[in-house]
Amino acid sequence: MKVLVIIPAYNEELNIENTINKIINYNKKYKNKVDYIIINDGSTDNTNKICEKNNYNVVNLIHNLGIGGAVQTGYKYALDNKYDIAIQFDGDGQHDENYIDSLVNEIINGNDFVIGSRFINDLSKFKSTKSRRFGINLLSFLIKICTGKKIYDPTSGFRAGNRNVIKLFAYSYPSEYPEPESTVFLIRNKFKIKEIPVEMHERQFGQSSIKLFKSIYYMFSVSLSICITSVTRRKIK
Amino acid sequence: MNLNLTIFLIALLIFQFILIIRTVKQKKMTIKYASFWILLLVLMSLIVIFPDIIYKLSNLVGFEVPSNMMFLLGFFFLFYVSFIITTSISIQNEKIKLLIQEISLLKERVDKNGKKD
């Protein structure tokens, strides 16, 4: 099994070395080895220099694309290099490498797509702010209504997919509000999805990309994308 | 309709026509979109030369004054145009995204091969 960890990074000069060290540690500790690729999303800080200095595997996007376009580049890379499993792993230090193994195992057990979730049980101490949790619950409820399936953490960026998912996402992946929409799209197209509890940490440095004044517009747009995606059945190549 | 007004409007239309042709000559607009604007100008010229069309039509539909109908039509037309522009921007964004991704992946591959040599 060839496993690729996709690490989107936008201005993460303070976190990126830490994140890669996590992956290196993981490979020392676990039997299922993983490769990684950093997608440097047109960072304007020293992310690029740090990657070059340490000789990291990196794709430098020639212009900033946003999280959706960056992650999709990772899926394209996975497809080009014939990986069996691709895992999204944030470059900002939120995700815990010790759960990569659980995600990989769930794919090996026959699931198409596995989501690492903060909200299934109390494993994760860090559960985001109250207002954001309220928003996430609302999206979760909406997905339940639209698709009949309960996804506890639809905005989680810690996810793993098998070859079919890699193929699909390399071909089409939403740019703007990628996580909830792509999940609904997979449910709608009858992919086998599993959510497992994981730990997440607070961002180590820097700010989350979703700013407060934009959050209402964000909620409205994500809800709309969930509703529209749940009634569209696109043909899969 | 007042003769002065008619002359003024026709002059305005001619000016717009020249503007469109000039833009096409400078290759800042393709024929596909230019035809659209020119057809609109033809329609407007018809209205300027035969304003009775508008009076009769607005009476028939039930507008109190013809200008109300013109404003409403103009509003819907502009709404439609900006709608089309939004869709074409979205399509272009998608194309640009694809280009950025493919070029970046290619560069990565070239760099990696360069290091091996």
Q: What is the pLDDT of residues B14-45, one digit of tens each?
A: 999 999 999 999 989 888 889 989 999 999 99
Q: What is the pLDDT of residues A197-221, one digit of tens each?
A: 998 887 655 555 556 667 788 888 8
- CATH, range A3-231: 3.90.550.10
Cβ A34 vs Cβ A23: under 8 Å: yes
What's the Cα-to-Cα distance from B38 to each of A59, B33, B70, rounded to whole Å?
47, 9, 19
Q: For the whole model, what pTM was predicted? A: 0.85
Q: How far B16 CA lies from chain A's nearest CA (Å)?
A: 38
DSSP-assigned letter for residue A111: -
pLDDT for residue B38: 92
Residues in A touching B97 (Cβ below 8 Å): 65, 69, 72, 175
Confidence of residue B81 (pLDDT cuts 50, 70, 90): very high
Query: Domain ranges in chain A?
Result: 3-231
CB contact under 8 A, B100 and A61: yes
What is the ipTM for the molecules in this complex? 0.85
Q: What is the pLDDT of residues A79-111, one digit of tens each?
A: 999 999 999 999 888 899 999 999 999 999 999
Is the confidence at residue A237, as pLDDT, over 60? no
Q: What is the mean pLDDT of residues A181-200?
A: 93
Cβ A40 vs Cβ A58: under 8 Å: yes
Question: CA gyration radius for chain B?
Answer: 24
CB contact under 8 A, A77 and B105: yes
Q: How far A7 CA lies from chain B's nearest CA (Å)?
A: 15
pLDDT for residue A29: 92
- Beta-bridge mates of residue A7: A38
Is the confidence at residue A128, as pLDDT, over 80? no
Q: Which two tokens stand for residue A100?
A: 């990569």
pLDDT for residue A129: 74
Q: Which of B97, B105, B107 sits opposite A69 (nearest CB)?
A: B97
pLDDT for residue A236: 59
Contacts of A144 (CB under 8 A, 6+ apart): A150, A151
